[in-house]
Amino acid sequence: MIEPHGSKELKPLYVSDAAQRAALSKEAEGLPSIVISSGAAASAVMLASGYFTPLDGYMNLAESLSVAKDMKLPGGLLWPVPVAQIVPAAQLPAGFKAGSRLALRDPNVPGQPVIAIQEVRAIETLAAADQAAIIEQVFRTSDEAHPGVAAFKAAGDTLLSGPIQVLNYSYFPGDFPDTFRTAVQLREEMSQKGWKKVVAFQTRNPMHLAHEELCRIAQQEVGADGILIHMLLGKLKKGDIPAPVRDAAIRKMVELYFPANTVLVAGYGFDMLYAGPREAVLHAIFRQNTGCTHFIVGRDHAGVGSYYGAFDAQTIFDQIPAGSLKIEIFRGDHTAWSKKLNKVVMFRDVPDHKPEDFINLSGTKVREMLVAGQPLPKEFARPEVAEILMKHYQEEAAAEKK
């Protein structure tokens, strides 16, 4: 395993000492409080979990602008997207000033309990021009149809920066007890398995046969001891497969089609940004912080719609300074079943193939078939995985008709 990003050791911000956590919870009762956005709460979970090592809290305006423009903090550390606490000015507690402590309430848990306490070092206005610059640089578009752009614009106009102490991991341990893992826990699990070289696969979707084989190809090519299939468990755009369904489908695939003790299935508590290339770099940092040595970046990684080129999320790694990351990138090509070779291949490995030589279905076609109860081709998806997805889509379609 490799060192965390920008640090010799992980820096999780979860307050693990029970007595200290109880004291902070008691303190929070007397502090001014604010309900934060889902994105800010997810960032608190990532800070708590060690995935955002070496950050100690939310960025100020200068840091956010530096990250957006140059993909680095003012001190030079590579960081691809702002980790900011942005709120509407009207929601600030009356009379609240910089230098005070603020209780941050979780919008995603009933009763909106305190998720963290922040030492607010600065309160800054996010001017319209600065907001526009950050959005354009991070998302490469200002189109509000882009879910990441829409979420950033909706957050507010006031930036609260400073370190945080995190009291819980939000809804993730309760909703996903077998899957949610911190970076600390994953390092421990992989160490216990004796894995020294690990390849990580990021997903917000179920895995079809092509994804499964891409993981095998990467493991074989880099000589990895194991594979971390690491899924996002936070908020997604409308139409994406819910995390519980995706979790069940992936676990069934691993159970039936991978040798025992070669794959670790886990998830992390973050909301999807859909930031394409910038998010691919962030994903690499997450996996370096878990100790993985290699990270698969495939076609249209973390993309949405047609905002990014098919391989922009790979070429961005050519633009960052050498040595900025310790993790190595495995660049995956589009992958599908070859009718000629009777197996899954990456397109770059079969230059003699034509489009009609592959079995490849669009997401729309897959959904149509599953809603209709039609089995997916075995060359596209494992039948046990397709069965789980079929049940989900049929239940969804039935609910839409009511």
Q: Which pLDDT tens digit goes with each residue over 48-88?
A: 999 999 999 999 999 999 999 999 999 999 999 999 999 99
CA distance 278 to 80: 5
pLDDT tens-digit series, residues 375-394: 888 988 999 999 999 998 88
DSSP tag of 31: S
> Whole-prediction pTM value?
0.93
Determine how β-strand 198-203 pairs with β-strand 294-297. parallel
Least confident of 50-54, 91-95, 131-135: 91-95
More confident position, 367 or 320 = 320
State the burial class of residue 386 (Cβ atoms within 10 Å of its Cβ: 0-12, 13-18, 19+): buried
Listed in sequence order, the DSSP H helices in 83-241 are: 128-139, 147-155, 172-175, 183-192, 209-222
Q: What is the pLDDT of residue 237?
A: 80
pLDDT band of residue 40 (cuts 50, 70, 90) is very high
For the domain spanning 18-173, the CATH number is 3.10.400.10
213 — phi, psi (to 5°)? -70, -30
3-state SS class at 374: coil
Classify 96 as helix, strand or coil.
coil
What are residue 202's DSSP bridge partners? 230
Number of other residues whose CB lies within 10 A of the CB of residue 148: 25
Question: Residue ranges of the domains in the chain?
Answer: 18-173, 177-401
- Phi-psi region for residue 177, left (φ > 0), alpha (ψ -120 to 50) or beta? alpha
Residues 18-23: what's their mean pLDDT?
Answer: 97
Reported as a pLDDT band with limits 50, 70 and 90, residue 225 is very high
CB 201 within 8 Å of CB 229: yes
Active-site choice (21, 101, 121, 205):
205
pLDDT for residue 375? 87
Is-catalytic flag, 205?
yes
Check residue 187 and give its pLDDT. Answer: 97
Element (H, E) at 102: strand 101-105
Task: Give Cα separations from 108 to 14, 41, 125, 172, 294 (angstroms).
Answer: 18, 8, 26, 10, 33
Task: Tell me the pLDDT tens digit for each residue of 230-276.
Answer: 999 998 887 788 889 999 999 999 999 999 999 999 999 999 999 99
> Cβ contacts of residue 328 below 8 Å, gap of 6+?
222, 293, 294, 295
Mean pLDDT of 308-313: 92
* CA 149, chain centre distance (Å): 16
| C-alpha distance from residue 89 to each of 33, 73, 117 (Å) | 14, 25, 19
Q: Give the list of residues 6+ apart from residue 222 with CB closer than 8 angstroms, or none.
A: 197, 199, 293, 294, 328, 330
Assess whether pLDDT exceeds 80 at residue 363: no
Residue 360 has pLDDT above 90, yes or no: no
H-helix or E-strand spanning residue 50 = none
* pLDDT score, position 383: 92
Beta bridge partners of 72: 78
277-322-269-156 Cα dihedral, nearest 10 degrees:
-60
- Separation in Å, CA 337 to CA 76, 84, 313, 367: 43, 42, 23, 19
Q: What is the pLDDT of residue 232?
A: 94
Tokens, residue 39: 């994105």
CA-wise closest residue to 324 among 281, 293, 283: 281
- Using the predicted structure, report yes or no on whether residue 280 has a pLDDT greater than 80: yes
**Across the chain, what does the average pLDDT equal?**
94
Whether the per-residue pLDDT at 402 is higher than 80: the answer is no
Mean pLDDT for 38-48 is: 97
pLDDT on residue 234 = 92
- Kindly tell me if the per-residue pLDDT of 362 is higher than 80: no
323: enclosing H helix or E strand: none
pLDDT at 359 over 80: yes
* The pLDDT value given to residue 236: 84
Q: Is 289 a catalytic residue?
A: no
Which residue of the set 204, 246, 287, 382 is catalytic?
A: 204
Whether pLDDT at 183 is above 90: yes
pLDDT band for 296, please (50, 70, 90 cuts): very high
Q: Which fold has domain 177-401?
A: Rossmann fold (3.40.50)
